[in-house]
Chains A and B, each alone.
Chain A
Amino acid sequence: METFINPKSLFHLLLLPCLLLYSSIAYNSSPVEAAMHTNNWAVLVCTSRFWFNYRHMANTLSLYRTVKRLGIPDERIILMLADDMACNTRNKYPAQVFNNENHRLNLYGDNVEVDYRGYEVTVENFLRVLTGRHETAVPRSKRLLSDEGSHILLYMTGHGGDEFLKFQDSEELQSHDLADAVKQMKEKHRFKELLIMVDTCQAATLFNQLQSPGVLAIGSSMKGENSYSHHLDSDVGVSVVDRFTYYTLAFFERLNIYDNASLSSLFSSYNPSLLMSTTYYRKDLYKRRLEEVPVTNFFGSVMETIHTDAAYKALSRRNSGRFEDEMSLDQSVHHIKRRMLIKVNDGDEIHDINPEGEEGASKCPWSTFRNKFQKAENVDSLLNYGLVAMIPLLVISTWLVQ
């Protein structure tokens, strides 16, 4: 008996890791391939110091306000400001920052959370934020805690040149550094899609070294061109906004979270004669068609909805590339607004979702398994499941033989 039992148990022991391995392959392979857009992050950087660079801070704060308005919560915005214009002694309006000479909108009002300020804004810290390699003491609020389902907006403004961007008055970020950081992010599954928006002189040159897939880049000017400020506030005594950012903001001011404007409509909204420079966007690394990507995919927190009939229901995935609704991920700020939104869109959603709802109606886990099985879109997983199914057969057959 012992001689029989031993090989058997040995066999079982051998079988177990194999099973685990298979299962792990089966589960892992699908999320990487088909990670869904689940959250939005924004990294907004103003890299220049000094009072006469007021406009760069105003640029960044305006964009901060816009993305916040369009639904990215504060804890998912990393705001880096290299200098404090609001409290600069030369500021005629203490603790206020304006991006327009009409002074209607104070960008530095309540609820501005600056994560990196003053001399904290360095190339090193910027790269640490992107790659997530922080020292242990750095609080969570200063980290970019994105994952493979994140859409990240990276906005940078300051003084740049051919393949570099000046940080503070002493350092510079080179296009190689940026490309390397993005590559590391990609390898560490820190983003699904990344939009880099740069408003500097010769901004296009900063994207030259980018290689990672899923990256879309737009810059305010081509190589050899300058990016100009939009207008001077003669009351404050400085230029308050740059042209590229000004027209970007003008585009977004017309939008709210429900709007369906696409990235291509944003990109085509720039008029070179108004900008006095040529905007450049690099989309060869980006898979989706720009006409089908809503701007709120990056500038807001609007993503595909996962419909559930009831609570704790298994996930069902939608194939359509369109978006109908947004999933509210933050509950703190826009809680009430979101709830209203969901109600409003409910009717719309129900009739739209019907055909798929019939299919995935049953609640038992097996049905999801079957569901995936039926889709058969993933051959690898099918094969894996098949192999796993064969194992019990093998076990039974060996047992029968004995």
Chain B
Amino acid sequence: MAETKEKSLSDEKPKPRVRPIVRLGIFLISHSFLVSVVCCTAGVLALFLLPVLAKNTYISENALMPGSASPMLSNQHVSDGNRLVKDLTNPNSKSSETGIESHKIIAQYMLDLGAEVSFHKFHPQMNQFHPLHFFSSPVSGKIQENYSCSSYGINTVGIIRAPRGDGKEAIVLVTPYNALKSGFGEALSLGIAYSVFSLLTQVTWLAKDIIWLVADSQYGEYAAVAAWLREYQSPKFSSLSTPNAEMCPDVNNLFELKGHSISGSKFSNSFRRAGTMAAALVLKVRDQNEQFEDTISIYAEASNGQMPNLDLINVVNYLAVHRQGLRVNVEKLWPLLNSSWLKSLGEIFESLAKVAKSLYPKWKFGIPATEYVEGTATLASSLYYQALGVPTGPHGAFRDYQVDAITLEISPKFSLDKVWRNDILLRGGRLIEGVIRSVNNLLEKFHQSFFLYLLTSPSKFVSVGVYMIAFALLIAPLPMVAASLYVDANSSSNYSKGDSSTPSAITDTDEHGIAIRSWRWLNSAKLVFIVHLWGAIVSLLPYFISQIPDCSPTTSFMIWVLLSILSLLTSNSVLASPLACAKATQEKEWALVKSVTISSVFIGLGLMSVINFATAEIGALLMVPMCLLARPLKLDVRAGTLRSFCRLICNLVLGHIAFPPAAFFLLKGMLDGFGNANVGDFWMWVESLWAWNSATYLFIGMVQLPCWVLCVSILFHTC
């Protein structure tokens, strides 16, 4: 269309020189259908090629030098750790109902090593939806009124000062521990941490202070770590908050006892600090395990898809694999491992690589099919957990303060004999020691390696420069199609008008008419704006719904849906009449609506890719085909050709899939099976999203849902 217009123009006037970039743009817009098909296919293909394109990780920071020092953790330290494990698992220590006894034991052990010890008591802050500070950092100094003495947690903190260090930096070691119902695994993780801690009190090479935080996990691991970090990073100066907790007799009792038994020692009632945190390791030992060998799982995803520096993962991976002989795992989407289509895709890539290699021996990009399937499963899980925006462990609390942190979960092959226990204490301890020594060598913050990456295996990654290509290809057709539709709608209505009116009338009214028509898109823009406004209202609704007491997730969800529909209808009737096509003359109205919708989706996806890439990528996979294909069903039914029928089917399917709850249930069904799907699950999921301040929630509410509504309105357009 654009070309014909161009031609007609050039016939009349001497041909003006059109710049190549403009000509290219016009060419792309006029062939937008072909371009969008090619780009979308390429985008999806590029996503599936990512496991093949993944590079091996390498340690980018010279200063780290992992594994260059031989481990110093000896059997002496291991037996120390063993002693603590025995004392903690001893039934006598569990007699106390509040679990204070075991805290005392841990504190006593720390004190015996010569570390500074303090207790940090905290009231668990329930995660709640605060619409006004969504992206703001965790609130400090906020005092909640209704604290009860029964609900508080006690973190035990031990600090070793670097003997010759300047005390400006610290490394944090976290072991979650629930004193009330601790499994053997938790005790073992304390044992490992203690053996390392006892070694570190003796060494001369510390440049950073070591903080060992025994996080009281009875109110959740994350809450305890987050509470401690809040206190550490933003000290409270109001005197109001402290008496609250001090009034509880149990806590006072604890401190008094300590003060008496070990007077003049390094125990202190006040909150102890060390320097800024260079890195943090959360150590866990899993209780049950059916693996055949000792494995260690790395969890790295923090809130909103933030990742710790890749170097930290590299160091752990290197030391675990090459020094301690542990197998390293990162999360995988297990259902994908058995999918046959993925396997055949992997085989296709493998055979392609073989052909390429036979053509030119230097092309080596193929990976075996099994490796491809595993890489894809890992990549998918990496994308999924980043897109979710919910931290996968207590390490997420550190990322909020820009501290690089990961959770290490050791799953030993389980047997209860003493040799095995010593072995896991020794290897786990040496791994932690190695990581700490390596981080200790750091001179600056972690900065050399990547922060934006997706893992395809513990030792392979896809960097931002590569995975952006897939996303860019996917969203590239959007502006072109939008422009093409806009031009199309304008010119076609132009012609239809020209036909109906008499030729003589054109000369006078045309200028005016074109001016009006060229602003017609404002009408569609108004509609799109209203729908987005509605999206914002819908995303605020859960805040009010959650205020309703005693509401089951299912009913909450129902209320939410009802309110949403209601608000859509009211806004529709009050502000505009978007769904009803009032003026029959504007038969291309839907094209303009689609054009503006696509533009807004493009902007939304572009913004989201900056905030959380994985969300944008998954959102683009769902929304881009729907946006591009959307077309009034009536037109397709009227046309009645095979092509339009296919389009109709695609539209209907995509219209269902792209609806956020539908997409959620589909994903959940694929992962867990459809049997136990419940309507309330979606409410729970959404609740978890806003509780963790995930930007994905905003994306769904303010980009995806409006886009879906607009597309559906286009599908049911009455023209």
Decide yes or no whether A51 CB sits under 8 A from chain B.
yes
Decide yes or no whether A224 CB sits under 8 A from chain B.
no
* Given A89-B165, A90-B440, A92-B204, A51-B63 contact (CB < 8 Å): yes
Decide yes or no whether A50 CB sits under 8 A from chain B.
yes
- Contacting A237 at CB < 8 Å: which of B68, B163, B443? B68
Separation in Å of the B441 CB from the closest CB of chain A?
6
- Which chain B positions have C-beta within 8 A of A50? 62-63, 443
Report Cα–Cα, A306/B443, bound state, in Å.
Answer: 54
- Which chain B positions have C-beta within 8 A of A93? 204
Decide yes or no whether B532 CB sits under 8 A from chain A.
no
Report Cα–Cα, A237/B439, bound state, in Å.
Answer: 13
Q: Is the CB of A89 within 8 A of B69?
A: no
- Which chain A positions have C-beta within 8 A of B69? 234-237
- Which chain A positions have C-beta within 8 A of B714? none
- Which chain B positions have C-beta within 8 A of A52? 62-63, 65, 441
Q: Is the CB of A238 within 8 A of B68?
A: yes
Separation in Å of the A297 CB from the closest CB of chain B?
38
Report Cα–Cα, A138/B437, bound state, in Å.
Answer: 41
Decide yes or no whether A184 CB sits under 8 A from chain B.
no
- Contacting A238 at CB < 8 Å: which of B65, B162, B163, B166? B65
Separation in Å of the B444 CB from the closest CB of chain A?
10
Q: Is the CB of B68 within 8 A of A90?
A: no
B155-168 Cβ-contact flags toward A at 8 Å (1 or 0): 00000001111100
- Which chain A positions have C-beta within 8 A of B515? none
- Which chain B positions have C-beta within 8 A of A238? 65, 68
Q: Is the CB of A234 within 8 A of B70?
A: yes
Decide yes or no whether A388 CB sits under 8 A from chain B.
no
Decide yes or no whether A91 CB sits under 8 A from chain B.
yes
Q: Is the CB of A90 within 8 A of B203?
A: no
- Which chain A positions have C-beta within 8 A of B65? 52, 237-238
Q: Is the CB of B205 within 8 A of A90?
A: yes
Decide yes or no whether A26 CB sits under 8 A from chain B.
no
| CB nearest neighbor in B for A93 | B204
User: What total count of A-B pairs have CB within 8 Å?
Assistant: 48
Considering only residues 329-369 of chain A, those with a C-beta below 8 Å from chain B are none
Decide yes or no whether A94 CB sits under 8 A from chain B.
yes
Separation in Å of the B476 CB from the closest CB of chain A?
40
- Which chain A positions have C-beta within 8 A of B166? 89
- Which chain B positions have C-beta within 8 A of A92? 203-205
Separation in Å of the A47 CB from the closest CB of chain B?
15
Report Cα–Cα, A84/B63, bound state, in Å.
Answer: 16
Report Cα–Cα, A192/B338, bound state, in Å.
Answer: 78
Q: Is the CB of B205 within 8 A of A232?
A: no
- Which chain B positions have C-beta within 8 A of A239? 68
Report Cα–Cα, A237/B71, bound state, in Å.
Answer: 10
How many chain A residues sit at the interface, stated as a range, is 10 to 19
A234-252 Cβ-contact flags toward B at 8 Å (1 or 0): 1111110000000000000
Separation in Å of the B717 CB from the closest CB of chain A?
64
| CB nearest neighbor in A for B162 | A89
Separation in Å of the A395 CB from the closest CB of chain B?
78
Separation in Å of the B162 CB from the closest CB of chain A?
6
Decide yes or no whether B207 CB sits under 8 A from chain A.
yes
Q: Is the CB of A237 within 8 A of B437?
A: yes
* Given A52-B62, A52-B65, A89-B443 contact (CB < 8 Å): no
Considering only residues 240-297 of chain A, those with a C-beta below 8 Å from chain B are none
Separation in Å of the B414 CB from the closest CB of chain A?
32
B248-272 Cβ-contact flags toward A at 8 Å (1 or 0): 0000000000000000000000000
- Which chain A positions have C-beta within 8 A of B203? 92
Considering only residues 29-80 of chain B, those with a C-beta below 8 Å from chain A are 62-63, 65, 68-70
Report Cα–Cα, A238/B441, bound state, in Å.
Answer: 10
Decide yes or no whether B627 CB sits under 8 A from chain A.
no
Q: Is the CB of B205 within 8 A of A89?
A: yes
Decide yes or no whether B475 CB sits under 8 A from chain A.
no
Considering only residues 160-178 of chain B, those with a C-beta below 8 Å from chain A are 162-166
Report Cα–Cα, A52/B442, bound state, in Å.
Answer: 9
Separation in Å of the B432 CB from the closest CB of chain A?
16
Separation in Å of the B446 CB from the closest CB of chain A?
15
| CB nearest neighbor in A for B62 | A52
- Which chain A positions have C-beta within 8 A of B205? 89-92, 237
Q: Is the CB of A90 within 8 A of B207?
A: yes
Report Cα–Cα, A14/B443, bound state, in Å.
Answer: 73
Decide yes or no whether B388 CB sits under 8 A from chain A.
no
Report Cα–Cα, A51/B442, bound state, in Å.
Answer: 9
Report Cα–Cα, A92/B62, bound state, in Å.
Answer: 19
Considering only residues 436-474 of chain B, those with a C-beta below 8 Å from chain A are 437, 440-441, 443
Max count, chain A CB within 10 A of own CB: residue among B65, B70, B165, B205: B205
Q: Is the CB of A90 within 8 A of B441?
A: yes
Q: Is the CB of B68 within 8 A of A94?
A: no
Separation in Å of the B139 CB from the closest CB of chain A?
37
- Which chain A positions have C-beta within 8 A of B206? 89
Report Cα–Cα, A236/B163, bound state, in Å.
Answer: 17
- Contacting A94 at CB < 8 Å: which of B62, B70, B164, B441? B164
- Which chain B positions have C-beta within 8 A of A232? 68
A65-107 Cβ-contact flags toward B at 8 Å (1 or 0): 0000000000000000000000111111110000000000000
Report Cα–Cα, A205/B207, bound state, in Å.
Answer: 37
Report Cα–Cα, A51/B206, bound state, in Å.
Answer: 13
Separation in Å of the B471 CB from the closest CB of chain A?
36
| CB nearest neighbor in B for A169 | B443
Report Cα–Cα, A19/B711, bound state, in Å.
Answer: 109
| CB nearest neighbor in A for B438 | A237
Report Cα–Cα, A87/B207, bound state, in Å.
Answer: 11
Separation in Å of the B627 CB from the closest CB of chain A?
50
| CB nearest neighbor in A for B203 | A92
Q: Is the CB of A51 within 8 A of B441?
A: yes
Report Cα–Cα, A235/B203, bound state, in Å.
Answer: 12
| CB nearest neighbor in A for B440 | A90
- Which chain B positions have C-beta within 8 A of A88? 207
Max count, chain B CB within 10 A of own CB: residue among A90, A92, A237, A239: A90
- Which chain A positions have C-beta within 8 A of B440? 90
Report Cα–Cα, A91/B68, bound state, in Å.
Answer: 13
Q: Is the CB of B164 within 8 A of A89?
A: yes
Considering only residues 172-222 of chain A, those with a C-beta below 8 Å from chain B are none
- Which chain A positions have C-beta within 8 A of B68? 232, 234, 237-239
Separation in Å of the A56 CB from the closest CB of chain B?
13
Separation in Å of the A339 CB from the closest CB of chain B?
44
Report Cα–Cα, A89/B204, bound state, in Å.
Answer: 8
Q: Is the CB of A237 within 8 A of B165?
A: no
- Which chain A positions have C-beta within 8 A of B165? 89
- Which chain A positions have C-beta within 8 A of B62? 50, 52
- Contacting B441 at CB < 8 Å: which of A87, A234, A235, A237? A237
- Which chain B positions have C-beta within 8 A of A234? 68-70
B162-196 Cβ-contact flags toward A at 8 Å (1 or 0): 11111000000000000000000000000000000
| CB nearest neighbor in B for A237 | B69
Q: Is the CB of A235 within 8 A of B70?
A: yes
| CB nearest neighbor in A for B61 | A52
- Which chain A positions have C-beta within 8 A of B70? 234-235
- Which chain B positions have C-beta within 8 A of A235? 69-70
Q: Is the CB of A51 within 8 A of B443?
A: yes
Separation in Å of the A63 CB from the closest CB of chain B?
23
| CB nearest neighbor in B for A88 | B207
- Which chain A positions have C-beta within 8 A of B163? 89
Considering only residues 201-239 of chain B, those with a C-beta below 8 Å from chain A are 203-207
| Listed A/B pairs (12) with beta-carbon separation below 8 Å | A50-B62, A51-B443, A89-B205, A89-B206, A90-B205, A94-B164, A234-B69, A235-B70, A237-B68, A237-B441, A238-B65, A239-B68
10 new A-B contacts, CB < 8 A, other than A90-B440, A92-B203, are A52-B65, A89-B163, A90-B441, A94-B164, A232-B68, A235-B69, A235-B70, A236-B69, A237-B205, A237-B441
Chain B residues near A (Cβ < 8 Å): 62-63, 65, 68-70, 162-166, 203-207, 437, 440-441, 443
Q: What 9 pairs between A and B have smallest CB-CB spacing?
A: A237-B69, A89-B207, A234-B70, A89-B164, A92-B205, A89-B165, A90-B207, A52-B63, A237-B68
